[in-house]
Amino acid sequence: MFLIIGYVIVLAASVGTYSVHGSLAALWVPLEYVAIVGLTVGGFIAGNDIKVIKATVGALPSIFKGSKYNRALYVDLLAMLFEVLSKVRKEGLMSIENDVENPHDSPIFSKYPSISHDHHVMEFITDYLRMMVGGNLNALEIENLMDIEIETHHHEVEVPGHVMAKTGDATPAFGIVVAVMGVVNVMGSVGEPPAVLGKMIGGALVGTFLGILISYGFISPIASLLEQKAHEGSKIYQVIKVVLLASMSGYAPQVAVEFGRKVLFSNDRPTFAELEEELKSRKGK
């Protein structure tokens, strides 16, 4: 929503203010629009392999959606982890073996659809719970492995934002290419009247205008939003990490989830009292 509002403001501030003292018809040079778009898309395709192209195109719809990472989601996550760890504390690690092996049929995980429907998050949780159940790894070894996996995930989700940023950086140069081609065309028409030459030069300069406008007014905001989405989506893995490590270090479930609460962003973090009340209210369900 805000992306569209921003685009409207960009167009109003550029084309809108120009229309007050200039002719919009002078900006309508269809072949230059085609050339700019073609060069930008071509550069994007030429500079990336098929996996990166698919990842970038697949990530674009997310910029039009609101964030799912909010306080309610994190409260659900902490409540779910609390319930799992409480079961472990009461009945032992082997008691969650069926939950880990068949998370979709788990009576615990099925209570929290906002978490269980996220394949990557559930895979992260169940993989490390499985290690806790069946392995002899200590907390330090698992922490190191978690850090590597989180770093790998973060690198993967950052790729679309980096790609769009590089594409946006190249677009002004493509605008110059189009403008130079227009100037070359003007040089071949030096015998024409000044009025005709002026129109041709103005049309050539539209290429530079388009390149800069498209880059900083349209592509750069997309790159920025994709980068924000990438950073936002990594926090949930950090929460899971500190809660599980706290449990492995011997802390009670209530204390372990408090570790997770403390690493949340301030605008998504419930207070201690809010989380405690939420956990108490869900105990009886």
Query: What are the residue ranges spanned by the domains of the chain?
Result: 30-285
The upper half-sphere exposure of residue 226, i.e. CA atoms within 13 Å in the direction of its Cβ, equals 24
CA–CA gap between residue 164 and residue 60 (Å, rounded): 10
CA–CA gap between residue 84 and residue 105 (Å, rounded): 14
Work out the number of other CB atoms within 10 angstroms of the CB of residue 186: 19
Q: Measured at the alpha carbon of residue 38, what is the angle toward residues 33 and 43, in degrees to the nearest 5?
A: 135
251 within 8 A of 54, measured Cβ to Cβ: no
243 within 8 A of 259, measured Cβ to Cβ: yes
| Closest-CA residue to 243 (of 232, 254, 227) | 254
| Closest-CA residue to 54 (of 40, 39, 44) | 44
**CA 247 to each of CA 84, 242, 273, 279: distance values in angstroms, whole numbers, following the listed order:** 11, 9, 21, 17
Question: How many helices (DSSP H) and strands (DSSP E) are in the chain?
Answer: 13, 0
CA–CA gap between residue 81 and residue 66 (Å, rounded): 25
pLDDT digits (tens), the chain, 285 positions: 788 999 999 999 988 888 888 778 878 888 888 999 999 999 999 999 999 999 999 999 988 888 888 899 999 999 999 999 999 888 888 888 888 888 888 888 988 998 988 889 999 999 998 888 776 667 788 889 899 999 998 888 999 999 999 999 999 999 998 888 887 777 777 667 777 767 777 777 888 889 999 999 999 999 999 999 888 888 999 999 999 999 888 899 999 999 999 999 988 899 998 888 888 887 655
